[in-house]
Amino acid sequence: MPWQTLIDVTRDAPVPLTAQIQGTIRQEIAEGTLRPGVRLPSSRQLAEDLRVSRSVVVEAYGQLIAEGYLEALRGSGTWISQHLPPSAVPTLLDDGVVPDVRWDLRPGTIDGTAFPQREWLAAYQQALTGAGGRELGYPPLSGATALRTELAGYLGRTRGVRTTPRQIMVTSGFAQVLSLLGAALPRLGIDALGMEDPCHHRQRQFVAEAGLRVRSVPVDEDGIDVDALARTGARAVLVTPAHQFPTGATLSTERRAALVRWAEDVDGFIVEDDYDGELWFDETPRPLALQRLCPDRVLYAGTASKSLSPALRLAWIAVPPRLTSLLEQTRARRDLGSEILTQLAFTELLASGGFDRHLRRRRARLRARRLLLERAVRSHLPDARILGAAAGLHAYVELPRHVDEPRLVAAALHRSVLVRGGAHFRHGTRPAPPALVIGCAAVPGAALPEAVAAIGRARADLPSGLPTTAPDPRRSPCPN
């Protein structure tokens, strides 16, 4: 295993190297990448791979052994413990092994009843009825022309995106965009991608798997730290400017301008992931797409996963004109296009105004849920605060610094609430206060307060006062 890609260290980070190694190993255990029984490299080998002194690795291993994450047998090496501490176990559950809980508050979950079944059925029927030999053959690689035409109009009208049908490619989810970029960017001499920290943990995995080096860049209440991005040396970055995932921060006007300047300075590109841009119900005006500030350097991506359903595997990317052929060529070497009837049905939904009507209903429903959540947090977690804009399907709930996040997540699970802690999304190089990322979409509205009340009771189960586990670098005090 290439350990230096799994366990990476950043020399100019404020967190000591030992703590970075510990943080990454804990995180990889929590995400299930490092499973019980896996043998770690010797301290000498890892020190050589990471180009750090051996004492750094010895200290990191020693601390993790003391915490119960690792086991060592004299003469036979160091292993991931068969008996992990309880705080590490709940997040071991990946999407394939979801425990049977009463309330599932993971941010990726959705409310199946919000899908516009009747309108979709009508649109799909229309699409199928109108599909002839041409439509039912292999689809255009970039997607149905009719959909790209509708999308160009829709994105301009609702998000201010400046694009044309020719610049748009329809993909099987945003996940596919990441693998396409992993192959396309190196052909522009770009082999590293700046990624927000925290971010969607699976995306970091996809990007690394696609062969790009991940450069983690901290995020604060104004969005990505552009100065820190510039220090990474990367020439491309993936951002969620409207509603940072998962903190909810909106990229400020100043940072938007700075980010565009950065892209121009490094002759680089910005990938804008507008994953929930349609679902804005904050009192502040909805920010338009970053792409409109610099259509020549911003690749704008949207998805139907939040607005309709992730099961459709339907997303789109609008790229600068000079990248269209590169993207098409990259795709041509990988697959034969995306499923067409879903695309044609979505075209119908857009053209008939059904999608706009659906979004209006959905926003109203989500706004009501958000209010319920805010009220429940005030009652049951009174010293917590919800960060970021009221938008999308999740909220980032920051907790007081002394709360032991992993223990709270474990205690919540014990009370039948599956919720992710903030550490689940962090890469580990920067400390941050404890937090919960609460998905508000999947549980029925009335159940949301009950679920938060259960978290409040789980919190009360914890020993009060100072943290009861050894300090985690991602949970110690920090200025943001």
State in angstroms the smallest separation of the CB of 301 from ligand PLP.
8
Q: Which is nearer to ligand PLP, 154 or 275 (CB)?
A: 275
Q: Which is nearer to ligand PLP, 22 or 171 (CB)?
A: 171
Residues 185-214 that bind ligand PLP (CB under 6 A): 200
Q: Which is nearer to ligand PLP, 268 or 439 (CB)?
A: 439
> Can you tell me the distance from the alpha carbon of 312 to that of 291, in angstroms, rounded to the nearest whole number?
25
Stretch that binds ligand PLP, among 114-122, 282-290, 302-310, 427-435 (CB under 6 A): 302-310
Q: 88-117 mask for ligand PLP (x: CB under 6 A)?
A: --------------------x---------
The DSSP annotation for 334-397 comes to T-S---HHHHHHHHHHHHHTHHHHHHHHHHHHHHHHHHHHHHHHHHHSTT-EEES-SBTTEEEE
Measured at the alpha carbon of residue 123, what is the angle toward residues 121 and 125, in degrees to the nearest 5?
A: 65
The sign of the dihedral angle between the CA atoms of 199, 204, 206, 207 is positive
Per CB under 6 A, 245 contacts ligand PLP: yes
Per CB under 6 A, 150 contacts ligand PLP: no
Residues 156-175 that bind ligand PLP (CB under 6 A): 173-175
Nearest CA among 124, 171, 120, 121 for reference residue 143 = 171
State in angstroms the smallest separation of the CB of 196 from ligand PLP.
9
State in angstroms the smallest separation of the CB of 175 from ligand PLP.
4
Nearest CA among 368, 393, 200 for reference residue 308 = 393
What's the burial of 309, exposed, middle or buried (CB within 10 Å: 0-12/13-18/19+)? middle
Per CB under 6 A, 310 contacts ligand PLP: yes
Nearest CA among 32, 8, 50 for reference residue 92 = 32
The sign of the dihedral angle between the CA atoms of 5, 8, 11, 14 is positive
Number of amino acids touching ligand PLP (CB under 6 A): 13
Residues 33-52 that bind ligand PLP (CB under 6 A): none
Per CB under 6 A, 272 contacts ligand PLP: no
Applying CB under 6 A, among 78, 291, 305, 347 the residue interacting with ligand PLP is 305
Which residue is it, tokens 């409207």? 242
Q: Which is nearer to ligand PLP, 310 or 320 (CB)?
A: 310
Q: Which is nearer to ligand PLP, 41 or 421 (CB)?
A: 421
Q: 213-242 mask for ligand PLP (x: CB under 6 A)?
A: ---------------------------x--
Asked if 292 contacts 163 with a C-beta cutoff of 8 angstroms, the reply is no
Per CB under 6 A, 273 contacts ligand PLP: yes
Amino acid type, 17: L
280 secondary structure, DSSP code: B
Phi and psi for 386 in degrees, rounded to 5? -90, 125
Binding footprint of ligand PLP on the chain (CB under 6 A): 108, 173-175, 200, 240, 245, 273, 275, 303, 305, 310, 315
